Amino acid sequence: MVDIYWRIGTHGDQPSLRHPAASRGDWTPRRPGSITPALRGGCDDGYTYLDHMADVAKAAEAAGFVGGLLPSFPFTDDPFAATAALVRETRTFRFMVAYQPGFLDPVHAARLSATLQRVSDGRLVYNVITGGGGPAQLWWGDTVGHDDRYARTAEFLDVLKGAWGTTPYDLAGRFFDVRGAHLPPALATQPVPEIYFSGSSAAAIETAGRHADYYLSWLEPFGALRDKFAQVREESARHETRPRFALRIEILARATEREAWAEIERGWPHVDPASLDFSAAGDSVGAARSRAFVKGPVHGPRDLEVEPQVWGGFHLLRGGPAFGLVGSYDQVAARLDELVDLGVDSFILAGVPHLEEAYRVGSEVLPRVTFPRTNSLTTTVRSAS
């Protein structure tokens, strides 16, 4: 069974890809047309961006997604703060919380997570990020380097799982000092969240791979994904684990392919030409890979279509990763089928605007895929995972 997640933006949203201006949330100045908060009589109406996040979660739940990913960056709202506020407003929706293990104490993380599991009937999922590196890590107060961060992630997850029980757990670790850690019985019986692991470098698999339930990647050209999966399988075999794969994919699907591309063509005049220079900083291997797939000069949007339906320019039209699928409902569903044949076990889909596109993708694309997928509306949460 393939789990299909949606995404809950933690940094506002824009009404379409045609104009880069955000209107949802308060990251841009409030004006008539702003939502959460909106203006009434010249004053904020008292709704906050959390209310919009709640609406997207409910839309995704109703549209047949098993849950949603909540990303975390220095400029975004915090996924744990949102999840802890919203779990009781949804029934089946799983909250996939992105976080960096280095910033939390592992036993505290276990207590926080087990409490969320208890309150939500097991609807917490982790997206464990080991860090994009560069200035952002120092912004967060993290001075540990790339390969050491994976070692820390491994130690963190060792402790989190070790303490997740009633027997006292000790570890004199490289990063953490743990003495007699345990959970009270009511929390210890909760399930450890599934782990979507960001990072598939050799260092990642070597040090932390034993904890990954899913290797989460951004969409790439299919050949590159096939090679990457093979490499992860080979690396994992040395550690006697069988990896599962998840893909984060932007979706732009319309009734016809022509309509889908027309959306992008309308957005293209707003793209800053300077951003077409595909170079950036940071030590994220994933980000560097994305940039490398675009060959030759970029004059128009179709120059970024690296293979049919696989478009590498979404980051030019909204914040976030570059690659996604563009096409008719049938074409996009067929590409998702192919990805499952390639070995994908789980998807995190997204589209702008997240609220309306959750309904569209849920009603037009999901019914067209042929692989078996978890239907959270007919399956109870615990047995689904």
User: Contact residues for other proteins (CB under 8 A)?
Assistant: 25-27, 46, 48-50, 74-75, 77-78, 80-82, 84-89, 102-108, 111-112, 114-116, 118-119, 135, 138-143, 159, 163, 168, 173-182, 184, 186-187
CA dist., res. 12 & res. 28, Å (int): 9
Tokens 């926080």, residue?
112
Nearer to other proteins, 112 or 358 (CB): 112
Least CB distance to other proteins at residue 109 (A): 8
Nearer to other proteins, 80 or 311 (CB): 80
CA-CA-CA-CA torsion sign (361, 362, 368, 373): positive
Number of other residues whose CB lies within 10 A of the CB of residue 277:
9
Q: Which residues contact 47 (CB under 8 A, 6 or more apart)?
A: 35, 36, 37, 38
Tokens 């802890």, residue?
84
Nearer to other proteins, 177 or 341 (CB): 177
Least CB distance to other proteins at residue 291 (A): 24
What string of DSSP letters covers 276-310? GS----S--HHHHHHHHT--S---SGGGGEEETTE
Least CB distance to other proteins at residue 23 (A): 14
Number of other residues whose CB lies within 10 A of the CB of residue 41:
5
Least CB distance to other proteins at residue 40 (A): 16
Enter the tokens of residue 48: 């906050």
Least CB distance to other proteins at residue 314 (A): 22
Nearer to other proteins, 156 or 314 (CB): 156
Are 129 and 198 in contact by the 8 Å Cβ rule? The answer is yes
Least CB distance to other proteins at residue 52 (A): 11
Nearer to other proteins, 50 or 62 (CB): 50
